[in-house]
A and B are shown apart, each in its own frame.
Chain A
């Protein structure tokens, strides 16, 4: 287990480093660089101001030198400051990250509560009308984009019920009820799409177990179907489902950009969107690094969970 863990950890570290380098080089190819944006807003145009500014921002040095100093800053927990707002990126992201995580966790909770039971039911009643209806419904929910649903709800909510989502974000420590109300709809819609995928995965996982010999034995010795399913089938089928739930969390956290835009939630997705729009290098780098770290950590966690429960994996 130890050796396996170390190997996975090394690969995870390489991946994060790779992401950091790719993003770092990529943002420097963005057309219309920050200096131009800053100069235009300040009204300076001459070449000397430009050089001064570049020097002050530290973007006149060679790429590798810049990368090295950025990495050493990040390792010490310093994300630097935004080129546009001059605010500390670490501080801004510190307040944005909880928003995105709350949205992600709530969505995954919705997805799990809807997707897993329906998936189990669908598998247990395989080939029944119920199974067929649920499977068809899941493809429908996979096909209707959730941003379309969100827009429809916002538009018709205001037409029919005179309701529209709040424009200002309420932090959870100020007013937990208002905060939850604000998150409920976006989290539900994000979770709905994820639940469709999760339902299909759960169904397959349960079907794989339900065909095995020990389930037949359990049935043969006269166990009630309910007991067979809960004690024998689910216990074996839930592990892959659990890991997929982890992967969905990473997917939703990374895919929440649209929903943070629609529902005006100041999470890291919105921060990233604005940073890309304004060519704010340090901001883009920091958020991309955080995203990648979340994905890599979740993957590492699910790998470990698998290896811990199934020793065969460790020795591949």
Chain B
């Protein structure tokens, strides 16, 4: 190795990847939160992915000879009042919850980012108009807006996802707008404008990379919320339709008569739901702390 090359390796710090940096910061600052929530999330994902291979019976299969059986080796979480295996339903429920949670957050946050970025970057009447629309959306109490959308389109899974993503849009778009407002005053944006970059290029190449940490934080916080909302909807009987093993359906108070005789029908899906929401809440919290201390507790 020549002297020059040696000198260079000493000077140039090894390039850190974005995600690697976040991971290291999480381990350093919040080892406990990161570890616990990480393990829970990995386990829930694992169960959801492996569901067809680890289920004792198909989630909708009704075994008339095994009704209301308490947890045993054959049925780890027991069976419900029509002989369906609760464990199979819980792991398949994980699929629904994660699908709805991640899909609605992906759609909702993407739209929120676009709306917030346009509103903040262009300002003027575009901003005024978009913000009044956001005001209107924020004036609906959460479940009211979602119930309206589900009532309009129906309660298939894709419409539930649509409803929850519409509900998600408003508040994050405000945060993104505020971030864009502060970033667009920086000098490198002025520089980009003065060399003739198009607005699209400035937004995509210069502004977005500088607010992406905020977007990650909002997205991670909203996943827990989206999973909870789906469960509430299904609990009311207006979410994913009944035979599907959604956690909300399984907790639903409609059959308290059976729940009284077989509490495991209620406790296991409830535990799965709470643990999942807990893990995502905690992960979101730790991420927020690492990535954007200013957003704390807003």
Contacts A151-B259, A295-B139; is A145 near B228 (CB within 8 Å)? yes
With the chains together, A93 CA to B291 CA distance in Å? 46
Q: With an 8 A cutoff between CB atoms, is A22 at the interface?
A: yes
Q: Known contacts A151-B253, A155-B256, A254-B144; is A292 also within 8 Å of B139 by CB? A: yes
In the complex, how many residues of chain B place their beta carbon closer than 8 angstroms to a beta carbon of chain A?
Answer: 42
Q: Is A144 an interface residue (CB 8 A)?
A: yes
The answer to whether B138 has its CB under 8 Å from any CB of chain A is yes
A31 to B275, CA, bound (A): 37
Pick from A154, A204, A284: contact of B296, CB under 8 Å: A204
Would you call A18 and B133 a contact (CB within 8 A)?
A: yes
B236 within 8 A of A: yes
Q: Does A57 contact B (CB under 8 A)?
A: no
Which B residues lie within 8 Å of A143 (CB)? 224, 274-275, 277-278, 281
- Stretch touching chain A among B118-126, B148-156, B174-182, B198-206: B148-156
Contact A258 B136 (CB under 8 A): no
Contact A18 B135 (CB under 8 A): yes
Shortest CB-to-CB span from B223 to chain A, Å, is: 12
Confirm or deny: A38 has a beta carbon within 8 angstroms of a beta carbon on chain B.
no
Knowing A15-B136, A26-B152, A152-B266, say if A262 contacts B253 (CB, 8 Å): yes
Q: Is the CB of B253 within 8 A of A19?
A: no
Contact A291:B224 (CB < 8 A) given known A139-B285, A145-B274 = no
- Say whether A31 contacts B152, CB under 8 Å: yes
Q: How far apart sit A295 and B282, CA to CA, in the bound complex (Å)?
A: 29
Query: What are the residues of chain B within 8 A of A139 when measuring CB–CB?
Result: 278, 281-282, 285
Q: How far is the CB of B203 from chain A (nearest CB, A)?
A: 25
Please, which residues of chain B bring their CB within 8 A of the CB of A295? Answer: 138-141
Q: Judge if A67 is at the interface, Cβ distance under 8 Å.
A: no
Contact (Cβ within 8 A) B141 A145: no
Contacts of A42 in B (CB 8 A): none
Flag A224-246 by CB within 8 Å of B: 1 or 0 each: 00000000000000000000000
Q: How large is the interface on A (under 10, 10 to 19, 20 to 34, 35 or more residues)?
A: 35 or more
Closest to A197 in B: B297
Considering the complex, which residues of chain B in the window 264-286 have a beta carbon less than 8 Å from any beta carbon of chain A? 266-267, 270, 273-275, 277-278, 281-282, 285
In Å, the complex CA distance between A46 and B210 comes to 63
Q: Which of B133, B141, B281 has a CB less than 8 Å from the CB of A142?
A: B281
Contact check, B152 vs A255: say whether CB atoms are below 8 A apart: no
Contact A148 B270 (CB under 8 A): yes
Q: What is the CA–CA distance of A305 and B292 in the complex, to the nearest angstrom?
A: 28
Q: Is A308 an interface residue (CB 8 A)?
A: no
The verdict on A250 contacting chain B, using a C-beta distance below 8 Å, is yes
User: Which of B139, B142, B296 gathers most chain A CB within 10 Å?
Assistant: B139
Cα A30 to Cα B149 in complex, Å, equals: 9
In the complex, the chain B residue whose C-beta lies closest to that of A203 is: B297
Interface pair B236/A257, CB less than 8 Å apart: yes
Please, how many angstroms separate the alpha-carbon atoms of A7 and B142 in the complex? 26
Q: Does A159 contact B (CB under 8 A)?
A: yes
Shortest CB-to-CB span from B197 to chain A, Å, is 30
Tell me whether B251 is interfacial, beta carbon within 8 Å.
yes
Most interface-central of A16, A22, A150 (chain B CB within 10 A): A22
A204-B298 Cα distance, complex, nearest whole Å: 9
Bound together, the chains give a CA A206 to CA B140 distance in angstroms of: 30
Specify the chain A residue showing the minimal Cβ separation from B259.
A155
Determine the residue in chain B with the shortest Cβ distance to A14: B132
Question: Is the C-beta of A39 less than 8 angstroms from some C-beta in chain B?
Answer: no
Known: A11-B132, A143-B275. 13 other contacts (CB 8 A): A11-B135, A18-B133, A22-B136, A27-B148, A31-B152, A150-B253, A151-B270, A159-B263, A204-B296, A254-B142, A254-B144, A261-B253, A273-B147
Closest 6 CB pairs of A and B: A254-B141, A143-B278, A18-B136, A204-B297, A292-B139, A143-B277
